Chain A
Amino acid sequence: MNLAASWYCFKGILIREFLRFIQQRSRFLSALVRPLLWLIVFAAGFRAALGIAIIEPYETYITYETYIAPGLCCMILLFNGMQSSLSMVYDREMGSMRVLLMSPLPRPYLLLCKMVATALISLTQVYAFLLIALLVEVEPPLIGYLTVLPALLLVALLLSSLGLLLSTKIKQLENFAGVMNFVIFPMFFLSSALYPLWKMQESSEWLYWICTVNPFTYAVELVRYALYAELQTEAMLITMIATVVFSLLAVTGFNPKKSGR
């Protein structure tokens, strides 16, 4: 594979994704409104109901807003991953996926470029969210904004690859509503995004067990620690393994031998 050609290809895919992204400003805003509603409205109502004890990586008592901020960062990445999945299905319907697949470069590489491009676009939204979160006193250390970057990128790749995997399985657009109900919401609620897992364990042992096998939990914890300049090795390894597995499955799913259309 020619290195220069591969680079131009990646650059082209990234520019296209970026151009599509800025064309759809409403998408950018809606991606921000959702987590901000949770952060400002939901957290305000819940902070009284839910006291958070001192837990790692925090050094003192924290507000509920501070607790859910990493989960909401991951929520942006989760919705973007799924929205990219929707766009891939749409692309397949409209045929622009065909343009991508007509490239002479290897298909796994093309799909990887698409995932990385989606991930990079998502990061801009997460940083915009973190900036606004400063207004409600979610104030991680300055270095945290830097150390969280690789964690966010890995999580974005995890969720992009999951999105891609789903797009290979969903042939009709109308099934995306099902993805929302059966993938996005369960993944988000059955994780440590909104409440620490020990709280969940107090309520239900089997729900706690589901949370512990949900890769999204580890994605949230990876981001939570990284935002405070700490590395959670277990979370990183599990997120990495899940990313590799989802990516491989997604790429195999795009194998034309399995395409019936």
Chain B
Amino acid sequence: MTITATSLSFSYGPKQALNDVNFTLEKGQFHALLGPNGAGKSTLFALITRLIALQNGDIKIDQQSIKSQPASAMKRIGVVFQQSTLDLDLTVQQNLLYHASLHGITTSTAKSRIKHELTRMEMMDRANEKIRSLNGGHRRRVEIARALLHEPDILLLDEPTVGLDPQTRRSLNTYVRKLCSEQNLTVLWATHLMEEIELTDPVILLHQGSVLINALASALVEQSGYQNLTDAFHHLTEKDNLGVNR
């Protein structure tokens, strides 16, 4: 399952949030979407998930435009938003059942999938606890489990580790990478934390609404002339070093 964005531009009134963005996400690959705050990452997520409508350009999932086939696009995408979208007063299971019903999944099928996902995340014993009683890391796990309930081919995560401690961040990142390789999931992981990116990851670097770099992380380091990804990122986003697109 590939996602292709072509000539994507979006503005909030006079403020240009995205400007002529082009990229392709390859099937079964972990992609990192890098960018400082305000780079346009969340806008890009909102466009792919149809929370806001496309203004210019198009997004295609396996050659099907999300404009013409919105329902089929939604079936194939699982999302973890930057801000938690769980109902704090409902239990883990109730939150997950609600999501499953929105996708038209029967209760019995939903329950067996919930069991599978929660067991995999070592969260099954928390199924009947209210979200309010879970810590940030566990809430994120529930959100990832929820995003996978309808068995999507694409998983989008918008800064999923914000506010979590380094150990939990690492374990979530490792878990999603495992999903990606085991289930052939196409993953787009938005972040501004360099330690979440491996040198073999394809990286899309967004800066001020434009794609600054679209290359492997190792190539990004190489092209920048710096020793590591963190320095390369700061260098590239502090100065507008355009012209290094793949």
A98 at the interface (CB under 8 A from B): yes
A16 at the interface (CB under 8 A from B): yes
A204 at the interface (CB under 8 A from B): no
A181 at the interface (CB under 8 A from B): no
B242 at the interface (CB under 8 A from A): no
Residue in B closest to A96 when the chains form the complex, CB atoms: B85
Q: Identify the stretch in A6-14, A39-47, A230-238 within 8 Å (CB) of chain B at 4 or more residues.
A: A6-14
Interface residues on B, range: 35 or more
User: Which residues of chain A are within 8 angstroms of B53 by Cβ–Cβ distance?
Assistant: 255-257, 259
A48 at the interface (CB under 8 A from B): no
Given A16-B90, A20-B90, A256-B51: A104 in contact with B98 (beta carbons within 8 A)? no
Give, as a whole number of angstroms, the nearest-CB distance from B11 to chain A. Answer: 10
A213 at the interface (CB under 8 A from B): no
A5 at the interface (CB under 8 A from B): yes
Give, as a whole number of angstroms, the nearest-CB distance from A18 to chain B. Answer: 11
A100 at the interface (CB under 8 A from B): yes
Contact B87 A16 (CB under 8 A): yes
Contact A259 B104 (CB under 8 A): no
Over the window 96-109 of chain A, the binary record of Cβ atoms lying under 8 Å from chain B Cβ atoms (1 yes, 0 no) is: 10111111111000
B79 at the interface (CB under 8 A from A): yes
- Choose from B72, B85, B87, B105 the contact partner of A98 (Cβ within 8 Å): B85
Given A96-B87, A102-B74: A6 in contact with B98 (beta carbons within 8 A)? no
User: Which residues of chain A are within 8 angstroms of B98 by Cβ–Cβ distance?
Assistant: 12-13, 15-16, 99
Contact A99 B94 (CB under 8 A): no
A13 and B86 CA atoms in complex are apart in Å by 14
Contact A95 B75 (CB under 8 A): no
- Choose from A16, A19, A104 the contact partner of B71 (Cβ within 8 Å): A104
Give, as a whole number of angstroms, the nearest-CB distance from B57 to chain A. Answer: 15
Contact B90 A95 (CB under 8 A): no
A259 and B74 CA atoms in complex are apart in Å by 18
A230 and B218 CA atoms in complex are apart in Å by 78
Contact B75 A260 (CB under 8 A): no
Contact B72 A104 (CB under 8 A): yes
Given A257-B53, A259-B53, A261-B12: A8 in contact with B83 (beta carbons within 8 A)? no
User: Which residues of chain A are within 8 angstroms of B71 by Cβ–Cβ distance?
Assistant: 104-106
Contact A103 B74 (CB under 8 A): yes
Given A99-B102, A261-B52: A12 in contact with B81 (beta carbons within 8 A)? no
- Beta-carbon contacts under 8 Å, A76-106 to B: 94-96, 98-106
Contact A256 B50 (CB under 8 A): yes
Residue in A closest to B73 when the chains form the complex, CB atoms: A104
A98 and B86 CA atoms in complex are apart in Å by 10
Given A94-B85, A98-B85: A6 in contact with B104 (beta carbons within 8 A)? yes
User: Which residues of chain A are within 8 angstroms of B70 by Cβ–Cβ distance?
Assistant: 104
Residue in A closest to B55 when the chains form the complex, CB atoms: A257
Given A9-B104, A12-B97: A20 in contact with B85 (beta carbons within 8 A)? no
B112 at the interface (CB under 8 A from A): no
Residue in A closest to B88 when the chains form the complex, CB atoms: A94
Contact B52 A95 (CB under 8 A): no
By a beta-carbon cutoff of 8 Å, the part of chain A in contact with chain B is: 2, 4-6, 8-9, 11-13, 15-16, 19-20, 23-24, 94-96, 98-106, 110, 255-257, 259-261
Chosen A-B contacts, 19 in total, with CB atoms closer than 8 Å, are A9-B101, A12-B100, A16-B94, A20-B87, A23-B89, A96-B85, A96-B86, A96-B87, A98-B49, A99-B85, A101-B51, A102-B49, A104-B72, A104-B75, A104-B104, A255-B53, A257-B53, A260-B52, A261-B52
By a beta-carbon cutoff of 8 Å, the part of chain B in contact with chain A is: 12-13, 49-53, 70-75, 77, 79, 81, 83-87, 89-90, 94, 97-107
Closest 3 CB pairs of A and B: A12-B101, A5-B104, A103-B102
